[in-house]
Structure 1
Amino acid sequence: MVELIEQGIYLLKGQVMVKDADKLTVEEINNRLVYKGVAPLAETNINQEKARTGTIAFQILNNHNTTEDKKNLKLRFDALASHDITYVGIVQTAAASGLQEFPVPYVLTNCHNSLCAVGGTINEDDHVFGFSAARKYGGIFVPTHQAVIHQYMREMMAGCGKMILGSDSHTRYGALGTMAIGEGGGEIAKQLLERTYDIAYPEVIGIYLEGCPVPGVGPQDVALAIIKAVFKNGMVKNKVMEFVGPGIANLTVDYRNGIDVMTTETTCLSSIWRTDEQVEEYYKIHGRSEAYRKLEPQEVSYYDGLVKVDLSRIRPMIALPFHPSNAWTISELNQNMAEILHHVETEGRKQINNPNLTFQLTDKIVNGRLKVEQGVVAGCAGGTYENIVAMAQLLRQKSLGDFSLSVYPSSQPVFLELMNNRSIEKLTIAGASIRSAFCGPCFGAGDVPGNNALSIRHTTRNFLNREGSKPDNGQLASVALMDARSIAATALNGGIITAATEIEFSPAVLPYTFNQEIYGNRIYQGFGTPHPEEELVFGPNIIPWPKIRPLPENLLLKVAAVIHDPVTTTDELIPSGETSSYRSNPLKLAEFTLSRRDPAYVGRAKAIQQVEFKRQELVAQGKGFAEIEDVFLANIAGDKTPEQLKTIIIETGLGSIIFAVKPGDGSAREQAASCQRVLGGDANIAIEYATKRYRSNLINWGMIPFTINEEDKQKFAVDDLLYIPEIRQAIAAGADNVQGYIMHADDHESITLKIENLSKDDRDIILAGCLINYYAKIKNMN
């Protein structure tokens, strides 16, 4: 089904894989090609260095690189995208740093807090702010209920050979020939200020598709099979997934989009696909024929690894809580029900780590099969045209009974076409609830299931509590990911988990007509026509970022949380759901930090932060040192003279720190870092960071992304103090590591903290205290 080749490999003519092509003669290679029915090579000199330039990824990255350095890229993007829980902070950051006009098309969509259901006027106030920003700076504004962010970008902004940066982790348009990257808001602000996205040239992993999916197997099934194969071993982490092979021709563009958007869950950096006449037709249908050009690897291309996927062997999948990689075929689940569910329960309880909550799935076994009560198909992954057409064909207006099914078409043009071909009619008569374009069910802001319920969803994630339950209130529910086709089959079977391949139906792709008039009548197209005289409109919940101090000479940090889970998601660092409504209020939002993982964290962080505020006040006055000496210097004073001690106090900043084994999987939300910073956090310590985007968020908020050796991970306990002398000097000098001193309740020990792979700009941002301070300093210098 999925085979991993974890070594470099050559791809010849985009079809034939050869591990050692550089060691073979041209005659030997051509014999292999002829045997496979492929024309001989025109190329006669094969070497790895040149073949690396033969990938589609290289061609696009090279075209967007603004420096001669091919190993350390400085990229500029063709377009940017944000939604209504990210764009307020981004615009505020950029405006504070001198923004005059959006330099490239910047799309501000409203698909996350579009229900305006929490906190009175605060959500709509954000939308009003967004519209005022689009007018003032020349942006594109997509009002609520018109489209989810990624569907609009597919329909109206993607283009072959382009690069798009979005402040949402599922920014993926590779199937349309666009390399897209999801990042935190700081990276969007940099692009708005005409800075670059700096990254070492990434490795490229080939995703070789062959065969044709059997009826009943959908894009989510293919995606889950790939995620299961590559997530845990990190094969594609921070790399580009390049989809090649003859199997692509057997997939419609909608199907490809459905696979592509889920590549985020592998922790890859980006994705790109070979394009063909089907992609050309897609752009023609959407009135943008000029956006198409053929993209394919050159005659000889080299990949740093390869994932071989036989589409004909993929079967309907289910990803059980609490990760998309926790996947089995539905057939495997049915054959080994008790064993698999017991395993998932055991691992899930470890992750929940709350004796007051009982995570249970085996209680949902009915006559040997797993039964659920709710299904949801929504967002950029589930709500696409062909998914919903297939559901209508499967359900055939048959009654859903007491099974709850919600369907969210991904855009108004998709909704209109589903009405025109009567798919909406069929689903509605069957008993499904049809909603407008909305991302809420993907992150816990819609269709929250009942306590102890298991919901099946064609959305992007099934992380712990991402469905909206609140463990601190004694609530616990969970989500299993499935393809829309198997969700429809399950609905037909009264909620008994059922693969779509078990149902007899004749799937047919109905032709699609895109009505651009819908957008023409509603979308604000302001790019290139800013109105600088207009003012941004602020609601009472839109609060500026608090003042953040630069990096002190020394740091004394209290360990405010210790997490030994194998992976810590951004959902755990700052929950989604209704808390998203407060993302324009950094002080209010920070109160939710780690609330579903370590509720005591906020109190610990704020306690040391208050001492730091007092220290700053006393230092400014030049008096009163004695009253805070005992709080943070008792262990490092030693034989220091009073004057030396005074100097240490002046030059040592207090803050908090989090230790986690592998933090940052999941969402691109910068608030996972900024909330810690707002509470006085100065750093994270990890064995490794789950994603580049989370590490970048830490840096852009002036937090140091320390790493340590695996054998040191047991050294930290909550309430320990970590003293790091001369940290500012080390960061400024480009040091790769510093010496720290951990002070436990009854002893102390030293530890080496690594600060590797920080660019000059990264270090300057950390020294300044955050990206806002960094740009303010540059502005003042000019």
Structure 2
Amino acid sequence: MAYNVAQKLIASHLVTGEMLPGREIGLHIDQTLTQDATGTLVMLELEALGLDQAQTEVSVQYVDHNLLQADSRNAEDHDFLRSACRRFGLWFSKAGNGVSHPTHMQRFGIPGKTMVGSDSHTPAAGSLGMLAIGVGGTEVALAIAGEPLYLKMPEIWGVRLTGKLPPWTSAKDIILEMLRRHGVKGGRDRIIEYHGPGLATLSAMDRHVIANMGAELGATSTVFPADDQVRAFLRSEQREDDFTELLADSDATYDVTDEIDLATIEPLIALPSSPGNVVPVQEVAGRAVAQVVIGSSANPGLRDFAIVAAITKGRQCHPGLSFDVNPSSREILQDLTKMGATFDLISAGARLHQTGCMGCIGMGQAPANGSNSLRTMPRNFPGRSGTKEDSVYLCSPETAAAAALTGTITDPRDLTELFDLEYPEIELPEVSSVNLTMLEKPLAPEEAGKVALVKGENISSLPVFGPLADRIEAPVALVVGNDVSTDEILPAGARVLPYRSNIPKLAEFTFDQVDPTYPARAARTRDSTGHILVGGTNYGQGSSREHAAITPRFLGLRAVVAVSFARIHWQNLANFGVLALEFTNAADHDRIEQGDVLLLTGIHDALVTGKEILVQNETRGEVYPVRHSLSSRQVDMLLAGGLIPWLRERRARDTRDVMKDWS
């Protein structure tokens, strides 16, 4: 049978299930990735599971999100993460070493391998011919412990690329074109696989840009073949021995198809406040810009910084504009400096910041109210920048550089006339500045077992939640519309993320962007009836951070009834014992108001049999049919109160069975 690349990756790691779209499958996982905004919970979950040593080939903990040490909390979390890596057998990437995704690609990515990460942009590793999937932290913890990853078999969406990009465009414009065509829900329950002759013109790091932002399409993952471009990348990283060719069979087919002629791509830009709100730059040219930020995992390559340096070389950024540069890895900063490009950026007025995520996650670089910020980042959800009423645009490095020079949104193609500037040709080094000094290897098992976890005052234990009730009668604490993101459920940024290991404190910020009265109202019913949330389509899109499921659950959330869910948040809700239900009739969403009391009965039987549940609105005397799409494994897990209680029960049962056999 002819297979495409995605099918080859899945088939070679299939543990359970059949490769039929919609069916649950289990995959063996080779590698894991965690970052500090989500990793502390993963390490607490490893402790709760009683893990001795990591069972994966490679597991790496990065410190790249929370680098602003305004007080002791972030430093304490970094100490905890390092001690957990030493205890459980993980690599530790120190603060300042690099953003997880490009750094992992440089140092650890291997064609043909699988990886899960507690970051929704983990699919960036698909640029090397890997199957990399963003999931909640609990599932990463289980993968580290040697458990399979369970998910619904996605459709494979083949996107054929032809032609070559014209000057003043780059890989960011390709993924923005995909978002312009298909929006933030276009990739749901799909793996996107790029193929065709146009691939030969895209470097491995260009492909990283596209694979990274496949998450904004809602895709399960994005994959590319492992071809000569991947071999060249690994050779430049002095890791050519890790290369294995992985190509689609010549007669491979796809469940869904699309095609892009790269020669037709023009500079594009995502308007506030959604990555799917994409238009040509020409349509919004002339709007004033107060801030330009270069960097993030969405445009992390040396080329992405070097092209900005070449465009701005010998010129000055516009007066009154903040021109911010966040290097994506220490290695890339070294190469940029060797090329002289760092000097060119600084001379042009750039502010050089730490190697890390920084403004992408709202950790500094918050823009002024009422001003426009152009960023080479993956997301512009409301308030994500750290400014509640922000106005953030997403664009390519070329478009960002043009705005830095002019102070307005400018089509970079106009720079030829404005500054007599032809599109720069840049030469990148054939061999990268490999730097291993800030990577700590795992300890030998006999040494690791002696390590004690270092827990500061800000690190609390995981909350313990009880089994799912058969009957829920509770008020609706909040009704929200479509495309509510996890950033809106639980904000990121410097004000909130330092509490990421302190669930009781973190819960105080839940839905702060939407309704700051929610935490206090929810807490009043936490120990009695609990409460219910009602959502629109694509509820929980965006970040994989499981905190957005844990803190509402901590505040007494029993169920979410929505028109539809984003994949990772849907799974995270189940992982922490929250019932996720979908309206049979989408219009019923508009019939429910905050404060209505909803009654659900016979929940356990309906979950097991797959029958519809009738939700009774006791306030309005109405009934709404709802359904679930949980597998039988997930149902068992939900009835046990979540993934960790279920796994504990299963392992205890297996131990009892073994003891019985021995006796």
TM-score (norm 2): 0.94
In structure 2, how many angstroms separate the alpha carbons of the residues matched to 1:694 and 1:427?
A: 39
Which residue of 515, 524, 541 maps to 1:607? 524
User: What's the counterpart of residue 12 of structure 2?
Assistant: 63
In structure 1, how many angstroms separate the alpha carbons of the residues matched to 2:333 and 2:555?
A: 43
Percent of residue pairs identical: 29
How many residue pairs match? The answer is 640
1:417, 1:514 within 8 Å by CA — same for their partners in 2? no
Over residues 644-699 of structure 1, what are the superposed CA-to-partner deviations in whole Å (9 max), with x where a residue is unaligned? Answer: xxxxxxxxxx211110112111111111111111111011111111x211110000
The residue correspondences of 1:130-529 to structure 2 (distance < 5 A) are 130-171=81-122, 172-231=124-183, 234-334=185-285, 369-402=286-319, 403-470=321-388, 476-500=389-413, 502-503=415-416, 504-512=421-429, 518-519=435-436, 521-526=437-442, 529=445
Which residue of 537, 554, 569 maps to 1:694? 569
User: What's the counterpart of residue 14 of structure 1?
Assistant: none
Greater Rg over alpha carbons, structure = 1
Q: What is the deviation of 1:769?
A: 1.2
Assess, with a 3 A threshold, how the Cα gap between structure 1 residues 736 and 193 changes in structure 2: closer, same or farther: farther
User: What's the counterpart of residue 620 of structure 1?
Assistant: none
In structure 1, how many angstroms separate the alpha carbons of the residues matched to 2:314 and 2:507?
A: 47
Over residues 532-585 of structure 1, what are the superposed CA-to-partner deviations in whole Å (9 max), with x where a residue is unaligned? Answer: 12111101010012221111231112210001x221111111111121111101
Which residue of 621, 638, 647 maps to 1:748? 621
In structure 2, how many angstroms separate the alpha carbons of the residues matched to 1:538 and 1:780?
A: 28
**Is 1:770 matched with 2:642?**
yes
In structure 1, how many angstroms separate the alpha carbons of the residues matched to 2:89 and 2:339?
A: 37
Q: What is the deviation of 1:428?
A: 0.6
Over residues 587-617 of structure 1, what are the superposed CA-to-partner deviations in whole Å (9 max), with x where a residue is unaligned? Answer: 111111101112222122111114x2xxxxx
In structure 1, how many angstroms separate the alpha carbons of the residues matched to 2:595 and 2:137?
A: 31
Q: What is the deviation of 1:424?
A: 0.2
In structure 1, how many angstroms separate the alpha carbons of the residues matched to 2:349 and 2:499?
A: 34
User: What's the counterpart of residue 711 of structure 1?
Assistant: 587
User: What's the counterpart of residue 114 of structure 1?
Assistant: 67
Assess, with a 3 A threshold, how the Cα gap between structure 1 residues 70 and 257 changes in structure 2: closer, same or farther: closer
Q: What is the deviation of 1:86?
A: 0.8
Over residues 414-441 of structure 1, what are the superposed CA-to-partner deviations in whole Å (9 max), with x where a residue is unaligned? Answer: 0001000100001111111112211121
SS in structure 2 of the partner of residue 173 of structure 1 = helix
In structure 1, how many angstroms separate the alpha carbons of the residues matched to 2:612 and 2:144?
A: 33
User: What's the counterpart of residue 498 of structure 2?
Assistant: 581
SS in structure 2 of the partner of residue 596 of structure 1 = coil
Over residues 233-283 of structure 1, what are the superposed CA-to-partner deviations in whole Å (9 max), with x where a residue is unaligned? Answer: x44212010000101111222222222211111111101112322210111
In structure 1, how many angstroms separate the alpha carbons of the residues matched to 2:330 and 2:193?
A: 31
Give the counterpart letter for 2:575 in structure 1.
Answer: N
Give the counterpart letter for 1:688 in structure 2.
Answer: S
In structure 2, how many angstroms separate the alpha carbons of the residues matched to 1:92 and 1:239?
A: 31
In structure 1, how many angstroms separate the alpha carbons of the residues matched to 2:407 and 2:595?
A: 51
In structure 2, how many angstroms separate the alpha carbons of the residues matched to 1:698 and 1:742?
A: 23
Which residue of 726, 744, 760 maps to 2:632? 760
In structure 2, stretches of 5+ residues that fail to align are: 656-663
SS in structure 1 of the partner of residue 260 of structure 2 = strand
The residue correspondences of 1:543-622 to structure 2 (distance < 5 A) are 543-563=460-480, 565-578=481-494, 579-610=496-527, 612=528
Q: What is the deviation of 1:527?
A: 6.5
Q: What is the deviation of 1:230?
A: 1.3
In structure 2, how many angstroms separate the alpha carbons of the residues matched to 1:523 and 1:443?
A: 23
Assess, with a 3 A threshold, how the Cα gap between structure 1 residues 567 and 522 changes in structure 2: closer, same or farther: closer
SS in structure 2 of the partner of residue 431 of structure 1 = coil
SS in structure 2 of the partner of residue 416 of structure 1 = helix
In structure 1, stretches of 5+ residues that fail to align are: 1-49, 335-368, 471-475, 613-653
Q: What is the deviation of 1:200?
A: 2.7
1:217, 1:501 within 8 Å by CA — same for their partners in 2? no
Q: What is the deviation of 1:718?
A: 0.9
Over residues 371-390 of structure 1, what are the superposed CA-to-partner deviations in whole Å (9 max), with x where a residue is unaligned? Answer: 11110012112332001110
Give the counterpart letter for 1:101 in structure 2.
Answer: Q
SS in structure 1 of the partner of residue 530 of structure 2 = strand
In structure 2, how many angstroms separate the alpha carbons of the residues matched to 1:515 and 1:314?
A: 30
User: What's the counterpart of residue 626 of structure 1?
Assistant: none
Deviates more, 1:187-196 or 1:65-74: 65-74
SS in structure 2 of the partner of residue 778 of structure 1 = helix
Over residues 437-459 of structure 1, what are the superposed CA-to-partner deviations in whole Å (9 max), with x where a residue is unaligned? Answer: 11121121121011111100001
2:102, 2:300 within 8 Å by CA — same for their partners in 1? no
* Superposed CA RMSD: 1.7
2:318, 2:406 within 8 Å by CA — same for their partners in 1? no
1:487, 1:498 within 8 Å by CA — same for their partners in 2? no
Give the counterpart letter for 1:499 in structure 2.
Answer: P
Q: What is the deviation of 1:323?
A: 0.7
Q: What is the deviation of 1:720?
A: 1.2
In structure 2, how many angstroms separate the alpha carbons of the residues matched to 1:734 and 1:668?
A: 30
Over residues 603-643 of structure 1, what are the superposed CA-to-partner deviations in whole Å (9 max), with x where a residue is unaligned? Answer: 22111114x2xxxxxxxxxxxxxxxxxxxxxxxxxxxxxxx
Give the counterpart letter for 1:209 in structure 2.
Answer: L
Assess, with a 3 A threshold, how the Cα gap between structure 1 residues 566 and 552 changes in structure 2: closer, same or farther: closer
In structure 2, how many angstroms separate the alpha carbons of the residues matched to 1:597 and 1:716?
A: 18
Q: What is the deviation of 1:217?
A: 0.4
2:105, 2:125 within 8 Å by CA — same for their partners in 1? yes
Deviates more, 1:136-145 or 1:482-491: 482-491
SS in structure 2 of the partner of residue 380 of structure 1 = coil
Q: What is the deviation of 1:719?
A: 1.2
User: What's the counterpart of residue 27 of structure 1?
Assistant: none
Q: What is the deviation of 1:69?
A: 3.3
1:462, 1:481 within 8 Å by CA — same for their partners in 2? yes
**Is 1:94 matched with 2:46?**
yes
User: What's the counterpart of residue 658 of structure 2?
Assistant: none
1:160, 1:294 within 8 Å by CA — same for their partners in 2? yes
In structure 2, how many angstroms separate the alpha carbons of the residues matched to 1:552 and 1:305?
A: 40
Over residues 189-217 of structure 1, what are the superposed CA-to-partner deviations in whole Å (9 max), with x where a residue is unaligned? Answer: 22123221112321101111111111110
Q: What is the deviation of 1:517?
A: 5.3
Over residues 474-533 of structure 1, what are the superposed CA-to-partner deviations in whole Å (9 max), with x where a residue is unaligned? Answer: xx22201111111111222233534245332242232225556521x2211117646112
2:613, 2:625 within 8 Å by CA — same for their partners in 1? yes
In structure 1, how many angstroms separate the alpha carbons of the residues matched to 2:242 and 2:176?
A: 30
Over residues 302-346 of structure 1, what are the superposed CA-to-partner deviations in whole Å (9 max), with x where a residue is unaligned? Answer: 111212111111111111101111111112334xxxxxxxxxxxx
